Copies of this chain bind each other. A is one copy, B any other.
């Protein structure tokens, strides 16, 4: 590895001269000729600043972490791309990490933040855990921005307009003539799941339809949760004619569960889910979804985090300027279609 002093001795100048030229430091006084020789030599020797040394000296790494419960979830693809783009533009590198449970998250944040590997972190809590439970780690104003959920005693979180998305989904079913609509929700503890349920209720209320509480389930987003949900809904009398599922993966699972129960989609049951990614087009029937601005969410998270790093604090952000957008596929149809 080529170091600054390798370059310096090759050119025949001091280390500081090389450092200043390569960093284009303000107020650098170096003759144009020396400057060119330094730049040229550094290029020839393929000099690259050592990240550890620079971080140690500057007390900052220019690295941000993005800690997610499951990296292979297709929904994270856009989110991460948005975050990476924003980070790059601001001179940061994004580091991806996975933390499935609370223990993992605790551990991961301790390693990343505690050992000074990164300057800050964007965190999506694993399903079923609430930001409050992270209290031990958050007590001393750690530079952390939460995705989808605000921490009760800390600022710095970015959220989507979940209520609007659920309203869009529900309105779509209402427009198709459905009235007996079920809501397949996330776990009761999840803030975003709660917001989606509220949006569902608002849309129903606005249309003048009562919500049958037997048609509201909160099992979560795993594949097996869909079986539980559909089993409950099949017991209802009369059965619902349509489902708003709070999450795309859960929506895909719901299609599978319905098929196992010989419940035809969309003939006997229309299904629409919140969130969109390519797998939704691969199911049968292709799943109608509501697209959320995940790329923007990723960008906003990075910007919020950097603001927090620079100013010391950052306001919570609710992304409501891009409306959730209905992606009509084949899993929904008019009630008498």
Residues of chain A touching chain B, judged by Cβ–Cβ distance below 8 Å, are: 1, 46, 48-53, 55-56, 61, 70-74, 76-77, 80, 84, 93, 95-98, 110-111, 114-117, 223, 252-253, 255-256, 259, 278-279, 281-285
Count of this chain's copies in the oligomeric assembly: 2
Measured between beta carbons, the chain B residues less than 8 angstroms from A95 are 95-96
Measured between beta carbons, the chain B residues less than 8 angstroms from A96 are 71, 95-98
Give the distance to chain B from A88, nearest Cβ to Cβ, in Å: 10
Most chain B CB within 10 A, of A51, A70, A93, is at: A51
Question: Given that A278-B223, A282-B252, A282-B279 are known contacts, is A115 also in contact with B50, CB under 8 Å in the complex?
Answer: yes
Q: Are A1 and B279 in contact, with the CB atoms below 8 A?
A: no
Most chain B CB within 10 A, of A49, A52, A55, A114, is at: A52
Q: Are B48 and A56 in contact, with the CB atoms below 8 A?
A: no
Q: Are B72 and A115 in contact, with the CB atoms below 8 A?
A: no
Q: Are B98 and A80 in contact, with the CB atoms below 8 A?
A: yes
Q: Are A53 and B51 in contact, with the CB atoms below 8 A?
A: no
Give the distance to chain B from A90, nearest Cβ to Cβ, in Å: 16
Measured between beta carbons, the chain B residues less than 8 angstroms from A48 are 110, 114-116
